[in-house]
Amino acid sequence: MSAFILHHYWPSPFAHKVRIALNMIGAPWTSVEIPRVPPKPLLMPMTAGYRRTPVMQVGADIHCDTQNIARALGEAGYEDRLFPDSSRGQVMALSNWIDQALVELAIRTVITTAIGTAPPEFIKDRGDLYFGPNWNEAKLKADLPAVILQLSAQLDHAEAALSGKTFLMGDAPSWADVGLAFLAWLLRGRWDGGAALLARHPSIERVEATLASNASDHDPTITAEDALAIARKAAPASPTGIHHPASELTVGQKVVIRHKTQSSDPDITGKLRYIDLTRVSIDHESVEIGSVAVHLPVAGYSITAD
Ligand SMILES: N[C@@H](CCC(=O)N[C@@H](CS)C(=O)NCC(=O)O)C(=O)O
């Protein structure tokens, strides 16, 4: 069984981002399927409150958020394949732009057009997660034409960024191209206007076609109970310490980590284990698994003393 255990469900776009990346870099991975909406009783004991998908487990180290998962894969020996020619800074900047500008608009489009067909509790869960406390279905629908205009403008920038190149960084694919590939997969698969919009962006379609194939190949699936047992038997292997010049926090201090945007995400709490410029880690204990280390990116989250 591979070291990388991906907790995910197949329709999850952000999980698909990691599946495409694992395939692109040739890293074997093991699949654990989790529920699409809470409760997630066999996942949450491991994540200190983080509820989103995907989560990547390596023994008793639990990596949350795809931004941090990319870093974990880089540290596991895949840096050059994710960030060719030492391009990590550029690639992460591009990838964050793809997630925050393009994927956000794509999710808005997909959820808005799913109103009336997807189960109401799913729409409610995702609305509260993505659109803040005051969203409503009528406003989402009224905003849709303007959202699609924004989306096509941002897609045009991405298409232009690929002009004369095979991939965003040149000849080799990177984590940023993975961002475009999962975005295209989401638009094509979940919105009936997606294929027509993508057809106007042939370079993005080419990146999608190159990277998205075989993204489901993985080592045999294990159960969530097996994954919990693996965490229970292991000890966190990640470092400890304060490596952020501006942080006044201390190792062992209780901290709360919150999504920076307004959302229904629960707080993530634990004892600070490690922080540097881009990653924060906490120690977390639960009766089900004992001690694990939970890792998140710094960008996009507020980290404060509890
Ligand atoms: N910034 C996060 C976003 C993850 C995210 O929003 N994932 C969606 C699924 S694609 C999610 O968590 N939906 C709610 C859920 O699975 O409970 C990341 O990069 O991992």
The rounded mean pLDDT for the chain is 97
All residues at 6 or more sequence positions from 91 whose CB lies less than 8 Å from its CB, including other chains: 82, 83, 168, 169, 174, 175, 176
Residue nearest to atom 8 of ligand 1 (CA): 53
Residue nearest to atom 1 of ligand 1 (CA): 65
Determine the pLDDT at residue 227: 97
Q: What is the pLDDT of residues 26-35, one digit of tens each?
A: 999 999 999 9
Helix and strand totals (H; E) in the chain: 12, 10
Determine the pLDDT at residue 252: 98
Cα(14) to centroid of ligand 1, in Å?
6
Average pLDDT rounded to a whole number, residues 220-247: 96
Determine the pLDDT at residue 222: 96
Cα(50) to centroid of ligand 1, in Å?
10
**pLDDT band, very low/low/confident/very high, at 214 (cuts 50, 70, 90):** confident
- Ligand 1 atom nearest to CA at 64: 20
**pLDDT band, very low/low/confident/very high, at 88 (cuts 50, 70, 90):** very high
- Ligand 1 atom nearest to CA at 300: 1
Average pLDDT rounded to a whole number, residues 135-146: 98
Residue nearest to atom 6 of ligand 1 (CA): 52
Whether the predicted model's global pTM rises above the 0.85 cut: yes
**pLDDT band, very low/low/confident/very high, at 182 (cuts 50, 70, 90):** very high
Residue that has been written with the tokens 């990346």 in this structure:
21
Exposure string (b/e) for 216-250, b if CB count within 10 Å is 16 or more? eebeeebebeebbebbbebebebeeeeebeeeebe
Cα(145) to centroid of ligand 1, in Å?
24
pLDDT at 213 over 80: no
Cα(264) to centroid of ligand 1, in Å?
12
**pLDDT band, very low/low/confident/very high, at 126 (cuts 50, 70, 90):** very high
Neighbours of 68 (CB within 10 A): 22
Cα(43) to centroid of ligand 1, in Å?
14
Determine the pLDDT at residue 155: 98
pLDDT at 1 over 80: no
Residue nearest to atom 7 of ligand 1 (CA): 53
Residue among 35, 34, 45, 99 nearest 69 (CA): 99
Determine the pLDDT at residue 8: 98
pLDDT at 288 over 90: no
Average pLDDT rounded to a whole number, residues 38-45: 95
Helix (H, G, I), strand (E, B) or coil at 33: strand
Strand partners, 269: 256
pLDDT at 216 over 90: no
Average pLDDT rounded to a whole number, residues 86-93: 98
Residues with CB under 6 A from ligand 1: 12-14, 37, 51-53, 65-67, 129
Q: Which domains does the chain have, with CATH numbers?
A: 4-81+219-305 (3.40.30.110), 86-212 (1.20.1050.10)
**pLDDT band, very low/low/confident/very high, at 109 (cuts 50, 70, 90):** very high
pLDDT at 9 over 80: yes
